[in-house]
Chain A
Amino acid sequence: MAREPRSGRPGLVWAVPALVYFAALALFPMILVVGLSFCSWNGLGDPQWIGLGNWRKLASDPQLGSSLWLSLETGVVTWLVQTAICLPLGVWSAGRQRSRAVVSTMFFVPLLMSSAAIALVFSALLDPNFGLAGLLGPWLGVDDGNFIGSPGLAIWAVMFVITWQFVPFHTLLYQAATRQIPVVLYEAATLDGAGRWRQFFSITVPQLRNSIVTSSVLMLVGSLTYFDIVLLLTSGGPGTATRTLPLHMYLTGFSSFDMGLGSALATLLLIAGTALSLLVVRVTGFRRMASVREGL
Protein backbone atom coordinates (compact mmCIF):
# COMPACT_ATOMS: atom_id res chain seq x y z
CA MET A 1 0.00 0.00 0.00
CA ALA A 2 2.82 2.34 0.89
CA ARG A 3 4.35 2.17 -2.56
CA GLU A 4 1.09 2.66 -4.39
CA PRO A 5 0.64 6.41 -4.72
CA ARG A 6 3.90 6.81 -6.60
CA SER A 7 3.01 4.49 -9.46
CA GLY A 8 -0.70 5.21 -9.16
CA ARG A 9 -1.37 1.52 -9.64
CA PRO A 10 -3.47 -0.55 -7.27
CA GLY A 11 -1.61 -3.16 -5.26
CA LEU A 12 -2.45 -6.69 -4.31
CA VAL A 13 -4.55 -5.39 -1.44
CA TRP A 14 -7.37 -4.45 -3.85
CA ALA A 15 -7.79 -8.05 -4.90
CA VAL A 16 -7.37 -9.55 -1.44
CA PRO A 17 -11.01 -9.49 -0.29
CA ALA A 18 -12.25 -11.32 -3.42
CA LEU A 19 -9.35 -13.77 -3.43
CA VAL A 20 -9.71 -14.60 0.26
CA TYR A 21 -13.48 -14.96 -0.04
CA PHE A 22 -13.19 -17.21 -3.08
CA ALA A 23 -10.45 -19.26 -1.42
CA ALA A 24 -12.48 -19.73 1.76
CA LEU A 25 -15.86 -20.61 0.30
CA ALA A 26 -15.13 -22.08 -3.13
CA LEU A 27 -11.54 -23.29 -3.31
CA PHE A 28 -11.30 -24.66 0.22
CA PRO A 29 -14.49 -26.78 -0.13
CA MET A 30 -13.12 -28.24 -3.36
CA ILE A 31 -10.01 -29.36 -1.49
CA LEU A 32 -12.01 -30.42 1.54
CA VAL A 33 -14.16 -32.72 -0.57
CA VAL A 34 -11.11 -34.80 -1.40
CA GLY A 35 -10.31 -35.09 2.31
CA LEU A 36 -13.89 -36.02 3.15
CA SER A 37 -13.75 -38.83 0.63
CA PHE A 38 -11.39 -40.57 3.09
CA CYS A 39 -13.82 -40.09 5.96
CA SER A 40 -17.00 -41.64 7.23
CA TRP A 41 -19.67 -39.05 8.00
CA ASN A 42 -23.44 -39.20 8.20
CA GLY A 43 -23.95 -35.44 8.14
CA LEU A 44 -24.18 -35.11 11.93
CA GLY A 45 -21.30 -35.07 14.38
CA ASP A 46 -17.71 -35.10 13.15
CA PRO A 47 -16.28 -36.88 10.11
CA GLN A 48 -14.12 -39.90 11.06
CA TRP A 49 -11.02 -40.80 9.08
CA ILE A 50 -11.39 -44.27 7.55
CA GLY A 51 -8.74 -44.24 4.82
CA LEU A 52 -9.65 -45.83 1.54
CA GLY A 53 -12.97 -47.34 2.67
CA ASN A 54 -15.17 -45.13 0.50
CA TRP A 55 -12.99 -45.62 -2.55
CA ARG A 56 -13.18 -49.39 -2.14
CA LYS A 57 -16.94 -49.11 -1.80
CA LEU A 58 -17.00 -46.96 -4.90
CA ALA A 59 -14.99 -49.50 -6.89
CA SER A 60 -17.62 -52.13 -6.17
CA ASP A 61 -20.60 -49.74 -6.46
CA PRO A 62 -22.83 -51.29 -9.14
CA GLN A 63 -24.49 -47.91 -9.70
CA LEU A 64 -21.26 -46.07 -10.55
CA GLY A 65 -20.76 -47.55 -14.00
CA SER A 66 -24.33 -46.95 -15.03
CA SER A 67 -24.32 -43.37 -13.64
CA LEU A 68 -21.09 -42.59 -15.47
CA TRP A 69 -22.52 -44.00 -18.68
CA LEU A 70 -25.77 -42.04 -18.26
CA SER A 71 -23.87 -38.78 -17.71
CA LEU A 72 -21.64 -39.44 -20.69
CA GLU A 73 -24.59 -40.38 -22.89
CA THR A 74 -26.57 -37.31 -21.78
CA GLY A 75 -23.58 -35.06 -22.24
CA VAL A 76 -22.71 -36.24 -25.73
CA VAL A 77 -26.25 -36.56 -27.09
CA THR A 78 -27.41 -33.16 -25.79
CA TRP A 79 -24.18 -31.59 -27.05
CA LEU A 80 -24.69 -32.91 -30.58
CA VAL A 81 -28.42 -32.20 -30.70
CA GLN A 82 -28.10 -28.74 -29.21
CA THR A 83 -25.29 -27.75 -31.54
CA ALA A 84 -27.27 -28.94 -34.55
CA ILE A 85 -30.20 -26.78 -33.43
CA CYS A 86 -28.36 -23.75 -32.03
CA LEU A 87 -26.00 -23.11 -34.92
CA PRO A 88 -28.63 -22.59 -37.65
CA LEU A 89 -30.98 -20.93 -35.19
CA GLY A 90 -28.30 -18.50 -34.01
CA VAL A 91 -27.34 -17.62 -37.57
CA TRP A 92 -30.98 -17.13 -38.51
CA SER A 93 -31.78 -14.96 -35.49
CA ALA A 94 -28.71 -12.80 -36.19
CA GLY A 95 -30.56 -11.35 -39.17
CA ARG A 96 -31.74 -7.81 -38.57
CA GLN A 97 -35.26 -8.28 -39.94
CA ARG A 98 -38.00 -7.15 -37.61
CA SER A 99 -39.83 -10.49 -37.81
CA ARG A 100 -36.72 -12.33 -36.73
CA ALA A 101 -36.23 -9.99 -33.80
CA VAL A 102 -39.79 -10.62 -32.63
CA VAL A 103 -39.50 -14.40 -32.93
CA SER A 104 -36.10 -14.34 -31.22
CA THR A 105 -37.62 -12.51 -28.25
CA MET A 106 -39.79 -15.59 -27.81
CA PHE A 107 -36.84 -17.96 -28.20
CA PHE A 108 -35.04 -16.49 -25.23
CA VAL A 109 -37.87 -16.63 -22.70
CA PRO A 110 -36.82 -20.07 -21.35
CA LEU A 111 -33.54 -18.45 -20.28
CA LEU A 112 -35.46 -16.69 -17.55
CA MET A 113 -36.97 -19.84 -16.10
CA SER A 114 -35.43 -21.70 -13.19
CA SER A 115 -34.73 -25.40 -13.51
CA ALA A 116 -37.43 -25.93 -10.91
CA ALA A 117 -40.03 -24.11 -13.00
CA ILE A 118 -39.03 -25.93 -16.18
CA ALA A 119 -39.16 -29.28 -14.41
CA LEU A 120 -42.65 -28.58 -13.08
CA VAL A 121 -43.92 -27.58 -16.51
CA PHE A 122 -42.52 -30.66 -18.19
CA SER A 123 -43.55 -33.09 -15.50
CA ALA A 124 -47.11 -31.85 -16.08
CA LEU A 125 -46.70 -32.03 -19.88
CA LEU A 126 -45.15 -35.50 -19.67
CA ASP A 127 -47.94 -36.86 -17.51
CA PRO A 128 -49.28 -39.79 -19.55
CA ASN A 129 -52.86 -39.36 -18.36
CA PHE A 130 -53.57 -35.64 -18.39
CA GLY A 131 -50.52 -34.13 -20.08
CA LEU A 132 -49.48 -33.67 -23.68
CA ALA A 133 -47.50 -36.92 -23.63
CA GLY A 134 -50.69 -38.96 -23.76
CA LEU A 135 -51.72 -37.15 -26.95
CA LEU A 136 -48.30 -37.16 -28.64
CA GLY A 137 -47.26 -40.65 -27.54
CA PRO A 138 -49.12 -42.63 -30.23
CA TRP A 139 -47.62 -40.37 -32.92
CA LEU A 140 -44.15 -41.23 -31.68
CA GLY A 141 -44.77 -44.94 -31.34
CA VAL A 142 -45.36 -44.91 -27.59
CA ASP A 143 -49.00 -45.86 -27.29
CA ASP A 144 -49.54 -45.09 -23.62
CA GLY A 145 -47.44 -41.89 -23.81
CA ASN A 146 -45.59 -42.94 -20.67
CA PHE A 147 -42.14 -41.63 -21.57
CA ILE A 148 -41.21 -40.61 -18.07
CA GLY A 149 -42.22 -43.89 -16.43
CA SER A 150 -40.49 -46.34 -18.73
CA PRO A 151 -36.86 -47.22 -17.99
CA GLY A 152 -35.71 -47.02 -21.61
CA LEU A 153 -37.42 -43.76 -22.51
CA ALA A 154 -37.12 -41.66 -19.36
CA ILE A 155 -33.54 -40.57 -20.08
CA TRP A 156 -34.62 -39.38 -23.53
CA ALA A 157 -37.40 -37.34 -21.96
CA VAL A 158 -34.82 -35.86 -19.60
CA MET A 159 -32.49 -35.07 -22.52
CA PHE A 160 -35.35 -33.37 -24.36
CA VAL A 161 -36.05 -31.12 -21.38
CA ILE A 162 -32.34 -30.31 -20.96
CA THR A 163 -32.17 -29.38 -24.63
CA TRP A 164 -35.26 -27.19 -24.27
CA GLN A 165 -33.64 -25.45 -21.32
CA PHE A 166 -30.21 -24.77 -22.82
CA VAL A 167 -30.79 -24.21 -26.55
CA PRO A 168 -31.68 -20.52 -25.99
CA PHE A 169 -28.40 -19.75 -24.25
CA HIS A 170 -26.26 -21.28 -26.96
CA THR A 171 -28.41 -19.77 -29.70
CA LEU A 172 -27.69 -16.42 -28.09
CA LEU A 173 -23.95 -17.13 -28.18
CA TYR A 174 -24.10 -17.97 -31.87
CA GLN A 175 -26.32 -15.00 -32.61
CA ALA A 176 -23.83 -12.60 -31.01
CA ALA A 177 -20.90 -14.23 -32.80
CA THR A 178 -22.62 -14.27 -36.20
CA ARG A 179 -23.28 -10.55 -35.96
CA GLN A 180 -19.54 -9.99 -35.70
CA ILE A 181 -18.75 -11.69 -39.00
CA PRO A 182 -17.76 -8.99 -41.49
CA VAL A 183 -20.48 -8.61 -44.19
CA VAL A 184 -17.72 -8.09 -46.75
CA LEU A 185 -16.93 -11.78 -46.64
CA TYR A 186 -20.43 -12.67 -47.81
CA GLU A 187 -20.46 -9.96 -50.46
CA ALA A 188 -17.20 -11.23 -51.89
CA ALA A 189 -18.47 -14.81 -51.85
CA THR A 190 -21.68 -13.79 -53.63
CA LEU A 191 -19.65 -12.05 -56.33
CA ASP A 192 -17.67 -15.24 -56.72
CA GLY A 193 -20.90 -17.11 -57.21
CA ALA A 194 -20.95 -19.09 -53.96
CA GLY A 195 -24.41 -20.33 -52.99
CA ARG A 196 -26.02 -20.35 -49.59
CA TRP A 197 -24.72 -23.73 -48.44
CA ARG A 198 -21.25 -22.97 -49.70
CA GLN A 199 -21.30 -19.66 -47.81
CA PHE A 200 -22.57 -21.30 -44.65
CA PHE A 201 -19.87 -23.96 -44.61
CA SER A 202 -17.02 -21.88 -46.04
CA ILE A 203 -17.63 -18.59 -44.22
CA THR A 204 -20.10 -18.85 -41.36
CA VAL A 205 -18.90 -22.08 -39.76
CA PRO A 206 -15.16 -21.24 -39.91
CA GLN A 207 -15.84 -17.73 -38.61
CA LEU A 208 -17.82 -19.19 -35.71
CA ARG A 209 -15.07 -21.64 -34.84
CA ASN A 210 -14.26 -20.05 -31.48
CA SER A 211 -17.90 -19.89 -30.51
CA ILE A 212 -18.41 -23.50 -31.46
CA VAL A 213 -15.53 -24.50 -29.21
CA THR A 214 -16.69 -22.31 -26.32
CA SER A 215 -20.27 -23.47 -26.58
CA SER A 216 -19.22 -27.12 -26.83
CA VAL A 217 -17.06 -26.94 -23.75
CA LEU A 218 -19.79 -25.17 -21.81
CA MET A 219 -22.29 -27.84 -22.80
CA LEU A 220 -19.96 -30.70 -21.90
CA VAL A 221 -18.98 -29.17 -18.57
CA GLY A 222 -22.64 -28.33 -18.04
CA SER A 223 -23.56 -31.96 -18.41
CA LEU A 224 -21.81 -32.52 -15.07
CA THR A 225 -24.37 -30.20 -13.51
CA TYR A 226 -27.56 -31.75 -14.90
CA PHE A 227 -28.82 -32.55 -11.48
CA ASP A 228 -31.69 -30.30 -10.45
CA ILE A 229 -33.75 -30.92 -13.55
CA VAL A 230 -33.32 -34.71 -13.23
CA LEU A 231 -34.07 -34.70 -9.51
CA LEU A 232 -37.28 -32.75 -10.06
CA LEU A 233 -38.43 -34.64 -13.15
CA THR A 234 -37.68 -38.25 -12.27
CA SER A 235 -35.68 -38.36 -8.99
CA GLY A 236 -33.40 -40.66 -10.95
CA GLY A 237 -36.17 -43.13 -11.74
CA PRO A 238 -37.87 -45.22 -12.76
CA GLY A 239 -35.62 -47.38 -10.63
CA THR A 240 -32.20 -45.92 -11.34
CA ALA A 241 -32.78 -45.38 -15.05
CA THR A 242 -31.97 -41.66 -14.95
CA ARG A 243 -29.60 -41.55 -11.98
CA THR A 244 -26.83 -39.45 -13.54
CA LEU A 245 -23.47 -38.99 -11.80
CA PRO A 246 -24.25 -35.65 -10.07
CA LEU A 247 -27.65 -36.98 -8.97
CA HIS A 248 -26.05 -40.18 -7.68
CA MET A 249 -23.65 -38.02 -5.69
CA TYR A 250 -26.47 -35.91 -4.24
CA LEU A 251 -28.68 -38.85 -3.32
CA THR A 252 -25.79 -40.76 -1.76
CA GLY A 253 -24.86 -37.76 0.37
CA PHE A 254 -28.15 -36.15 1.25
CA SER A 255 -30.63 -38.97 0.94
CA SER A 256 -28.64 -41.99 2.16
CA PHE A 257 -26.53 -39.70 4.39
CA ASP A 258 -23.34 -41.42 3.29
CA MET A 259 -21.39 -38.18 2.96
CA GLY A 260 -18.07 -40.00 2.69
CA LEU A 261 -19.07 -41.99 -0.35
CA GLY A 262 -20.85 -38.90 -1.67
CA SER A 263 -17.55 -36.99 -1.36
CA ALA A 264 -15.73 -39.69 -3.29
CA LEU A 265 -18.30 -39.31 -6.07
CA ALA A 266 -17.96 -35.53 -5.85
CA THR A 267 -14.20 -35.94 -6.22
CA LEU A 268 -14.83 -37.77 -9.48
CA LEU A 269 -17.02 -34.86 -10.61
CA LEU A 270 -14.30 -32.46 -9.56
CA ILE A 271 -11.67 -34.29 -11.59
CA ALA A 272 -13.89 -34.36 -14.67
CA GLY A 273 -14.83 -30.70 -14.15
CA THR A 274 -11.22 -29.60 -13.68
CA ALA A 275 -10.09 -31.45 -16.79
CA LEU A 276 -12.81 -29.78 -18.83
CA SER A 277 -12.35 -26.39 -17.19
CA LEU A 278 -8.66 -26.37 -17.98
CA LEU A 279 -9.91 -26.59 -21.52
CA VAL A 280 -12.21 -23.62 -20.87
CA VAL A 281 -9.34 -21.52 -19.58
CA ARG A 282 -7.40 -22.45 -22.69
CA VAL A 283 -10.26 -21.60 -24.99
CA THR A 284 -11.78 -18.52 -23.38
CA GLY A 285 -9.53 -17.35 -20.58
CA PHE A 286 -6.10 -17.76 -21.97
CA ARG A 287 -6.45 -15.12 -24.62
CA ARG A 288 -7.99 -12.80 -22.07
CA MET A 289 -5.07 -13.25 -19.73
CA ALA A 290 -2.75 -12.53 -22.61
CA SER A 291 -4.61 -9.36 -23.43
CA VAL A 292 -4.44 -8.32 -19.77
CA ARG A 293 -0.71 -8.39 -20.09
CA GLU A 294 -0.77 -6.50 -23.35
CA GLY A 295 -2.63 -3.69 -21.61
CA LEU A 296 0.16 -3.11 -19.13
Chain B
Amino acid sequence: MRRLNLPGGTAAALWLVVVAVPLYYVIGSSLRTQADYLDAGPLAPPSDPVLSNYGTVFASGFGHYLLNNVLVTVAVVAMTLGLAMPAAYAIVRSRSRLVSAGFSVMLMGLAIPAQAAIIPVYLIITRLHLYDTLAAIVLPSVAFGLPMAILVLSSTLRDIPAELYEAMTVDGAGPPRVFTSLVLPLTRPGLITAGIYTALGAWNGFLFPLVLTQSDSQRTLTLGLWNFQGQHGIDVPATMAAVVLSLLPLLGAYLAGRRHLLSGLTAGFGK
Protein backbone atom coordinates (compact mmCIF):
# COMPACT_ATOMS: atom_id res chain seq x y z
CA MET B 1 0.00 0.00 0.00
CA ARG B 2 1.00 3.53 -0.51
CA ARG B 3 2.15 4.55 2.95
CA LEU B 4 4.07 2.76 5.60
CA ASN B 5 1.93 -0.10 6.87
CA LEU B 6 2.97 -0.44 10.50
CA PRO B 7 0.72 -3.28 11.74
CA GLY B 8 1.31 -5.25 8.55
CA GLY B 9 5.01 -4.57 8.74
CA THR B 10 5.20 -5.79 12.32
CA ALA B 11 3.33 -8.97 11.44
CA ALA B 12 5.63 -9.47 8.48
CA ALA B 13 8.76 -8.99 10.59
CA LEU B 14 7.55 -11.52 13.15
CA TRP B 15 6.62 -14.04 10.52
CA LEU B 16 9.94 -13.50 8.80
CA VAL B 17 11.68 -14.68 11.98
CA VAL B 18 9.37 -17.70 12.25
CA VAL B 19 10.18 -18.70 8.67
CA ALA B 20 13.83 -17.72 8.54
CA VAL B 21 15.02 -19.42 11.73
CA PRO B 22 14.06 -22.96 10.67
CA LEU B 23 15.43 -22.37 7.16
CA TYR B 24 18.70 -21.05 8.55
CA TYR B 25 18.77 -24.01 10.91
CA VAL B 26 18.39 -26.52 8.05
CA ILE B 27 21.16 -25.04 5.95
CA GLY B 28 23.43 -24.10 8.85
CA SER B 29 23.37 -27.43 10.61
CA SER B 30 23.77 -29.35 7.35
CA LEU B 31 27.24 -27.78 7.15
CA ARG B 32 28.34 -28.70 10.67
CA THR B 33 29.80 -31.85 12.13
CA GLN B 34 27.65 -33.81 14.52
CA ALA B 35 30.05 -33.18 17.37
CA ASP B 36 29.88 -29.44 16.76
CA TYR B 37 26.08 -29.58 16.60
CA LEU B 38 25.73 -31.40 19.91
CA ASP B 39 28.38 -29.22 21.48
CA ALA B 40 27.62 -25.68 20.40
CA GLY B 41 23.83 -25.87 20.22
CA PRO B 42 21.26 -25.87 17.42
CA LEU B 43 21.61 -22.29 16.21
CA ALA B 44 25.38 -21.81 16.34
CA PRO B 45 26.77 -20.77 12.96
CA PRO B 46 28.79 -23.30 10.97
CA SER B 47 32.14 -21.77 11.94
CA ASP B 48 34.06 -24.49 10.19
CA PRO B 49 31.75 -25.63 7.36
CA VAL B 50 32.04 -29.21 6.18
CA LEU B 51 30.39 -31.03 3.27
CA SER B 52 30.77 -34.49 4.74
CA ASN B 53 27.06 -34.70 5.63
CA TYR B 54 26.18 -34.48 1.96
CA GLY B 55 28.57 -37.35 1.32
CA THR B 56 26.78 -39.42 3.97
CA VAL B 57 23.44 -38.69 2.30
CA PHE B 58 24.60 -39.73 -1.16
CA ALA B 59 26.27 -42.85 0.22
CA SER B 60 22.87 -43.95 1.55
CA GLY B 61 21.36 -44.20 -1.94
CA PHE B 62 19.85 -40.73 -2.19
CA GLY B 63 20.86 -40.39 -5.83
CA HIS B 64 18.64 -43.34 -6.64
CA TYR B 65 15.65 -41.85 -4.79
CA LEU B 66 16.21 -38.62 -6.64
CA LEU B 67 16.10 -40.45 -9.97
CA ASN B 68 12.90 -42.27 -8.96
CA ASN B 69 11.38 -38.93 -8.01
CA VAL B 70 12.24 -37.43 -11.39
CA LEU B 71 10.73 -40.44 -13.19
CA VAL B 72 7.53 -40.30 -11.15
CA THR B 73 7.17 -36.53 -11.54
CA VAL B 74 7.74 -36.55 -15.30
CA ALA B 75 5.29 -39.41 -15.81
CA VAL B 76 2.62 -37.81 -13.64
CA VAL B 77 2.91 -34.43 -15.36
CA ALA B 78 2.89 -35.93 -18.87
CA MET B 79 -0.12 -38.16 -18.21
CA THR B 80 -2.08 -35.50 -16.33
CA LEU B 81 -1.64 -32.84 -18.99
CA GLY B 82 -2.20 -35.38 -21.79
CA LEU B 83 -5.57 -36.34 -20.31
CA ALA B 84 -6.57 -32.90 -19.04
CA MET B 85 -5.89 -30.87 -22.19
CA PRO B 86 -8.46 -32.47 -24.54
CA ALA B 87 -10.93 -32.68 -21.66
CA ALA B 88 -10.58 -28.96 -20.95
CA TYR B 89 -11.11 -28.24 -24.65
CA ALA B 90 -14.30 -30.29 -24.58
CA ILE B 91 -15.51 -28.62 -21.39
CA VAL B 92 -15.17 -25.14 -22.82
CA ARG B 93 -16.31 -25.80 -26.38
CA SER B 94 -18.55 -28.86 -26.35
CA ARG B 95 -22.33 -28.60 -26.14
CA SER B 96 -22.63 -32.05 -24.58
CA ARG B 97 -24.47 -32.05 -21.27
CA LEU B 98 -22.53 -35.15 -20.24
CA VAL B 99 -19.28 -33.23 -20.42
CA SER B 100 -20.40 -30.52 -18.05
CA ALA B 101 -21.99 -33.08 -15.73
CA GLY B 102 -18.72 -35.00 -15.67
CA PHE B 103 -16.82 -31.80 -14.92
CA SER B 104 -19.11 -31.05 -11.98
CA VAL B 105 -18.37 -34.46 -10.51
CA MET B 106 -14.65 -33.90 -10.98
CA LEU B 107 -14.79 -30.53 -9.24
CA MET B 108 -16.22 -32.28 -6.23
CA GLY B 109 -13.27 -34.62 -6.34
CA LEU B 110 -11.07 -31.56 -5.98
CA ALA B 111 -11.57 -31.26 -2.27
CA ILE B 112 -12.17 -34.85 -1.24
CA PRO B 113 -9.05 -36.03 0.53
CA ALA B 114 -7.15 -38.78 -1.28
CA GLN B 115 -6.61 -40.32 2.15
CA ALA B 116 -10.24 -41.42 2.22
CA ALA B 117 -9.69 -43.58 -0.86
CA ILE B 118 -6.31 -45.02 0.04
CA ILE B 119 -7.50 -48.47 1.16
CA PRO B 120 -9.43 -49.18 -2.08
CA VAL B 121 -6.56 -47.72 -4.12
CA TYR B 122 -4.27 -50.18 -2.35
CA LEU B 123 -6.70 -53.01 -3.18
CA ILE B 124 -6.87 -52.00 -6.86
CA ILE B 125 -3.10 -51.62 -7.21
CA THR B 126 -2.41 -55.03 -5.67
CA ARG B 127 -5.06 -56.62 -7.93
CA LEU B 128 -3.36 -55.03 -10.96
CA HIS B 129 -0.08 -56.59 -9.75
CA LEU B 130 1.51 -53.17 -9.64
CA TYR B 131 2.29 -53.08 -5.91
CA ASP B 132 5.82 -51.87 -5.21
CA THR B 133 6.41 -50.29 -8.62
CA LEU B 134 6.78 -46.66 -9.61
CA ALA B 135 3.66 -47.09 -11.78
CA ALA B 136 1.70 -47.74 -8.57
CA ILE B 137 2.58 -44.20 -7.46
CA VAL B 138 1.96 -42.61 -10.85
CA LEU B 139 -1.50 -44.02 -11.63
CA PRO B 140 -3.46 -42.73 -8.60
CA SER B 141 -1.46 -39.48 -8.46
CA VAL B 142 -2.68 -38.69 -11.98
CA ALA B 143 -6.29 -39.51 -11.09
CA PHE B 144 -6.32 -37.24 -8.06
CA GLY B 145 -4.39 -34.48 -9.87
CA LEU B 146 -6.73 -34.36 -12.87
CA PRO B 147 -9.51 -32.12 -11.46
CA MET B 148 -7.12 -29.29 -10.63
CA ALA B 149 -5.31 -29.50 -13.97
CA ILE B 150 -8.60 -29.44 -15.86
CA LEU B 151 -9.85 -26.51 -13.78
CA VAL B 152 -6.74 -24.45 -14.57
CA LEU B 153 -6.65 -25.38 -18.26
CA SER B 154 -10.32 -24.74 -18.86
CA SER B 155 -10.11 -21.29 -17.31
CA THR B 156 -7.20 -20.44 -19.66
CA LEU B 157 -9.06 -21.87 -22.62
CA ARG B 158 -12.04 -19.70 -21.86
CA ASP B 159 -9.91 -16.62 -22.55
CA ILE B 160 -9.57 -17.55 -26.23
CA PRO B 161 -12.07 -15.36 -28.13
CA ALA B 162 -14.92 -17.29 -29.77
CA GLU B 163 -14.21 -15.47 -33.07
CA LEU B 164 -10.95 -17.37 -33.44
CA TYR B 165 -12.75 -20.71 -33.21
CA GLU B 166 -15.41 -19.54 -35.62
CA ALA B 167 -12.87 -18.32 -38.14
CA MET B 168 -11.18 -21.70 -38.14
CA THR B 169 -14.47 -23.52 -38.46
CA VAL B 170 -15.45 -21.39 -41.44
CA ASP B 171 -12.18 -22.44 -43.03
CA GLY B 172 -13.36 -26.02 -42.65
CA ALA B 173 -11.14 -27.06 -39.75
CA GLY B 174 -12.46 -29.87 -37.56
CA PRO B 175 -11.83 -30.18 -33.82
CA PRO B 176 -8.46 -31.97 -34.23
CA ARG B 177 -7.09 -29.10 -36.35
CA VAL B 178 -8.56 -26.48 -34.02
CA PHE B 179 -6.99 -28.30 -31.08
CA THR B 180 -3.48 -28.53 -32.53
CA SER B 181 -3.21 -25.18 -34.26
CA LEU B 182 -5.33 -22.93 -32.03
CA VAL B 183 -5.95 -24.39 -28.59
CA LEU B 184 -2.52 -25.83 -27.83
CA PRO B 185 -0.45 -22.77 -28.79
CA LEU B 186 -2.77 -20.34 -26.98
CA THR B 187 -3.01 -22.25 -23.72
CA ARG B 188 0.72 -22.41 -23.07
CA PRO B 189 0.53 -20.25 -19.91
CA GLY B 190 -2.20 -22.50 -18.53
CA LEU B 191 -0.17 -25.59 -19.40
CA ILE B 192 2.82 -24.18 -17.52
CA THR B 193 0.69 -23.33 -14.49
CA ALA B 194 -1.04 -26.70 -14.40
CA GLY B 195 2.27 -28.47 -15.06
CA ILE B 196 3.97 -26.73 -12.15
CA TYR B 197 1.12 -27.43 -9.77
CA THR B 198 1.04 -31.09 -10.77
CA ALA B 199 4.81 -31.42 -10.63
CA LEU B 200 5.03 -29.99 -7.12
CA GLY B 201 2.36 -32.36 -5.87
CA ALA B 202 4.07 -35.35 -7.46
CA TRP B 203 7.55 -34.33 -6.28
CA ASN B 204 6.42 -33.95 -2.67
CA GLY B 205 3.88 -36.79 -2.63
CA PHE B 206 3.97 -38.96 0.45
CA LEU B 207 0.81 -41.01 0.88
CA PHE B 208 0.90 -43.06 -2.34
CA PRO B 209 4.61 -43.97 -2.09
CA LEU B 210 4.10 -44.83 1.58
CA VAL B 211 1.23 -47.22 1.02
CA LEU B 212 1.95 -48.54 -2.48
CA THR B 213 5.68 -49.24 -2.44
CA GLN B 214 7.93 -51.10 -0.12
CA SER B 215 11.37 -51.92 -1.46
CA ASP B 216 14.40 -49.69 -1.45
CA SER B 217 14.69 -49.76 -5.25
CA GLN B 218 11.24 -48.14 -5.69
CA ARG B 219 11.69 -45.54 -2.98
CA THR B 220 11.01 -41.88 -3.72
CA LEU B 221 12.51 -38.83 -2.03
CA THR B 222 9.94 -38.21 0.68
CA LEU B 223 10.08 -41.83 1.82
CA GLY B 224 13.83 -41.77 1.45
CA LEU B 225 13.93 -38.81 3.83
CA TRP B 226 11.84 -40.62 6.39
CA ASN B 227 13.87 -43.76 6.05
CA PHE B 228 17.07 -41.76 6.33
CA GLN B 229 15.89 -40.22 9.57
CA GLY B 230 15.04 -43.68 10.83
CA GLN B 231 18.61 -44.78 10.23
CA HIS B 232 20.50 -41.61 11.08
CA GLY B 233 17.97 -40.12 13.49
CA ILE B 234 20.55 -38.97 15.98
CA ASP B 235 22.71 -37.51 13.21
CA VAL B 236 20.79 -34.25 12.80
CA PRO B 237 23.32 -32.56 10.47
CA ALA B 238 23.16 -35.46 8.00
CA THR B 239 19.35 -35.46 8.15
CA MET B 240 19.30 -31.73 7.43
CA ALA B 241 21.66 -32.27 4.49
CA ALA B 242 19.12 -34.77 3.14
CA VAL B 243 16.38 -32.15 3.53
CA VAL B 244 18.47 -29.57 1.66
CA LEU B 245 19.12 -32.01 -1.17
CA SER B 246 15.44 -32.87 -1.51
CA LEU B 247 14.61 -29.18 -1.70
CA LEU B 248 17.43 -28.06 -3.98
CA PRO B 249 15.86 -28.84 -7.38
CA LEU B 250 12.67 -26.97 -6.42
CA LEU B 251 14.62 -24.08 -4.93
CA GLY B 252 16.50 -23.75 -8.22
CA ALA B 253 13.22 -23.71 -10.12
CA TYR B 254 11.79 -21.18 -7.66
CA LEU B 255 14.65 -18.74 -8.07
CA ALA B 256 14.59 -19.15 -11.86
CA GLY B 257 10.85 -18.75 -12.40
CA ARG B 258 9.34 -17.39 -9.23
CA ARG B 259 6.37 -15.76 -10.90
CA HIS B 260 5.34 -18.87 -12.82
CA LEU B 261 5.82 -21.05 -9.80
CA LEU B 262 3.76 -18.89 -7.48
CA SER B 263 0.96 -18.49 -9.98
CA GLY B 264 1.09 -22.26 -10.46
CA LEU B 265 0.62 -22.75 -6.75
CA THR B 266 -2.54 -20.74 -6.39
CA ALA B 267 -3.68 -22.31 -9.65
CA GLY B 268 -7.45 -22.50 -9.67
CA PHE B 269 -7.96 -20.50 -6.52
CA GLY B 270 -6.16 -17.31 -7.45
CA LYS B 271 -9.10 -15.43 -8.91
Contact = CB atoms under 8 A, between A and B. Distances in A.
B113 A273 contact: yes
Given A10-B175, A116-B222, A296-B95, A95 B5 contact: yes
Nearest to A43: B122
Contacts of A11: 90, 94, 96, 175
A73 B122 CA distance: 30
B37 interface: yes
B140 to A, nearest CB: 6
A55 interface: no
B173 A8 contact: yes
Contact of B207 (A8, A36, A95, A228): A228
B239 interface: yes
B134 to A, nearest CB: 16
Contact of A250 (B18, B118, B258): B118
B113 A246 contact: yes
Contact of A112 (B146, B174, B175, B250): B250
Given A116-B223, A176-B266, A125 B25 contact: yes
A266 B207 CA distance: 14
Contacts of B103: 15, 289, 292
Nearest to B13: A103
Interface residues of A, number: 110
Contact of A25 (B124, B204, B239): B124
Given A12-B90, A277-B112, A30 B22 contact: no
Given A9-B93, A276-B111, A284-B269, A88 B229 contact: no
B38 A130 contact: yes
Interface stretch (A61-69, A151-159, A218-226): A218-226
Interface in B27-54: 29, 37-38, 41-43
Contact of B109 (A26, A169, A250, A266): A26
A103 B12 contact: yes
- Secondary structure at the A interface, as helix, strand, loop or mixed, is helix
B92 interface: yes
B38 to A, nearest CB: 6
Contact of B8 (A26, A88, A266): A88
A124 B266 contact: no
B189 to A, nearest CB: 15
The 6 closest A-B pairs by CB, nearest first: A8-B169, A92-B8, A277-B111, A25-B143, A114-B204, A18-B87
Interface of B: 1-3, 5, 7-9, 11-12, 15-16, 18-23, 25-26, 29, 37-38, 41-43, 83-84, 86-87, 89-96, 98-100, 102-124, 139-140, 142-144, 146-147, 150-151, 154-155, 158, 162, 165-166, 168-169, 172-175, 178-179, 200, 203-207, 210-211, 221-223, 225-226, 229, 236, 239-240, 242-243, 246-247, 250-251, 254, 258, 262, 265-266, 268-270
29 contacts: A9-B93, A12-B99, A15-B91, A15-B96, A15-B99, A17-B87, A18-B87, A18-B146, A21-B143, A21-B146, A24-B143, A26-B144, A27-B105, A28-B124, A30-B117, A92-B9, A92-B11, A110-B23, A120-B239, A120-B243, A130-B38, A164-B22, A172-B266, A217-B111, A218-B111, A224-B115, A228-B207, A280-B108, A292-B91
